[in-house]
Structure 1
Amino acid sequence: MLIKPVQTDRDTALTALRAFITQGGYTPGDRLPSERDLIESLSMSRATLRKALDALEREGVLWRHVGKGTFIAETDGKIGDRGLNEISHQLTPVKMMRARLAIEPAIAREAAINASGEAIVRMKLIQERARAADSWDEYEVQDDNFHRAVAQASDNILLLALFDELNSVRRSIALNIVVRGTDRPPDGHRSFEQHEEIIRAIDQREPAAAYDAMRTHIKSVSARLFEDV
């Protein structure tokens, strides 16, 4: 005799949320509506919605940035949930930046060796969007996209997976120490030039220069957040 599985509220909520994402045409990088809007659209309680969001985040379908919202993740190369919530509670922001410093320059070096022409075009397009961002929130979305595009350009699924795990931890650590003096990045924002130097090194197939450019960039970001790492 076949036993029909019991459908729980969580299962129903997950099904409804997946359908909402699919039918809404959301693609990687898109931001979902606010919790309030989702509660109204899906006719479920806040607690039930949050359980469904948590489940999809663990599966790598979504990622959440404190104070910015919930986004559709790019899941190729994703290892999956490995206790990132626990790690983020044990890791200091300084150690997180040191991990970036150890990993991302090596990824940039591999990108300079392996990047396709399409990958380089994508990095340049993301950089244009970052320069055109009309808010810090939008800039930071494009900054995330840029660093992941470099990892994708390495053409190494393990490096991409390592980057995604590191980036998931980074996003879960709220760096609320940054004080913005403007509504959007100024034209002279240092990361613009640094990102372009990374692209230039990758485009010209200069692995050592790409490594150095990424290391310089992360050191610069670290110096703005902390005294040094």
Structure 2
Amino acid sequence: MFDPESETLDPVARLRGFIHDGGYASGGKLPPERHLSDELGLSRATLRKALDALERDGVIWRHVGKGTFVTDGTAPKGKTGAMVELGRQLTPFRMMRARLAIEPAIAREAAVNASGETLRKMQRAIDRAKAATTWNEYETQDDLFHRSVAEASDNLLLLTLFEQLNEVRRAVAWGSVTRETSHPSPDHSSFPEHDAIAAAIAGRDPHAAYEAMRKHLGSVARRLFGEV
């Protein structure tokens, strides 16, 4: 419940503490504003100012219609805002074309350089995506899967490029996505596609990894636009 006295405390620090104490990892979704306002004892206006500050600092990112998510916290101050602004100027089709140009090449590098830990992260995201009981849970794990592929490239520049690409993707206005079910079905096409990417990377096959990622993103683009 909103407590007027709490407004005198640093709302940004309190929100940071909530994220830290709550164990929200990169990609984790924060509760709705109404819940955060009650939990922190802040007015909605003060809470939104605190959220704005953390977004500018690269601690969180927000997507209209999806919610507020935690980043890895490594984005330089001001960088996230620039990426968000770029995303607002980009069409979903152009965004997918950019992913098709970049992510298959990252997957190819991952097949050469992946460590055991990044392979485990990849599989963990795959397993959790298949077990997701909501689309939001699935999308969080899908995001973590693609990030784990970038981590597996063992190339800081490629990982940074992926993170920037991902920030722009989150800001693109995708419009209203109609879901016919409450969660992905067991035969959701991305499941075997993710499996194929992970298998090619684990098998140290750069060409297969490139093609598997290209096929996956092409499949996503066709579902969205009917063509790529």
What's the TM-score, normalizing by structure 2? 0.89
Q: Larger deviation: 194-203 or 40-49? A: 40-49
Q: Residue 105 of structure 2 corresponds to which residue in structure 1?
A: 106
8 Å contact 2:122–2:145 — kept in the other structure?
Answer: yes
Q: State the Cα deviation string for residues 30-89 of structure 1 (Å, max 9, x = none).
A: 32221111112222222221121122122221122332321221235x453351232122
Q: Does 1:91 pair with 2:94?
A: no
Percent identity, aligned pairs only, is: 56
Q: Residue 74 of structure 1 corresponds to which residue in structure 2?
A: 72
8 Å contact 1:201–1:209 — kept in the other structure?
Answer: yes
Q: Residue 138 of structure 2 corresponds to which residue in structure 1?
A: 139
**What is the CA–CA distance in structure 2 between the aligned matches of 1:180 and 1:23, rounded to whole Å?**
33
- Name the CA shift for 1:88/1:160 in 2 (closer, same or farther; >3 Å): same
Q: Residue 177 of structure 2 corresponds to which residue in structure 1?
A: 178
How many residue pairs align between the two structures? 220
Secondary structure of 1:127's counterpart equals helix
Q: CA deviation at 1:11?
A: 8.7
Q: Residue 22 of structure 2 corresponds to which residue in structure 1?
A: 24
Q: Does 1:122 pair with 2:121?
A: yes
Tell me which amino acid in the other structure corresponds to 1:200: A
Q: Does 1:195 pair with 2:218?
A: no
- Name the CA shift for 1:129/1:23 in 2 (closer, same or farther; >3 Å): closer
Tell me which amino acid in the other structure corresponds to 2:215: T
Q: Larger deviation: 209-218 or 166-175? A: 166-175
Tell me which amino acid in the other structure corresponds to 2:73: T
Q: Residue 59 of structure 1 corresponds to which residue in structure 2?
A: 57
Tell me which amino acid in the other structure corresponds to 1:108: A
Q: CA deviation at 1:102?
A: 0.9
The answer for unaligned runs of 5 or more in structure 2 is: 1-6
The answer for unaligned runs of 5 or more in structure 1 is: 1-8
Q: CA deviation at 1:19?
A: 2.2
Q: Does 1:12 pair with 2:28?
A: no
**What is the CA–CA distance in structure 2 between the aligned matches of 1:176 and 1:90, rounded to whole Å?**
14
- Name the CA shift for 1:48/1:194 in 2 (closer, same or farther; >3 Å): same
Which residue of 39, 42, 45 maps to 2:43? Answer: 45
Please provide the CA RMSD for this pair: 1.9
8 Å contact 1:59–1:81 — kept in the other structure?
Answer: yes
Q: CA deviation at 1:10?
A: 10
Q: CA deviation at 1:177?
A: 4.4
What's the TM-score, normalizing by structure 1? 0.89
- Name the CA shift for 1:109/1:11 in 2 (closer, same or farther; >3 Å): farther
Tell me which amino acid in the other structure corresponds to 1:52: A
8 Å contact 2:27–2:143 — kept in the other structure?
Answer: no
Q: CA deviation at 1:90?
A: 1.1
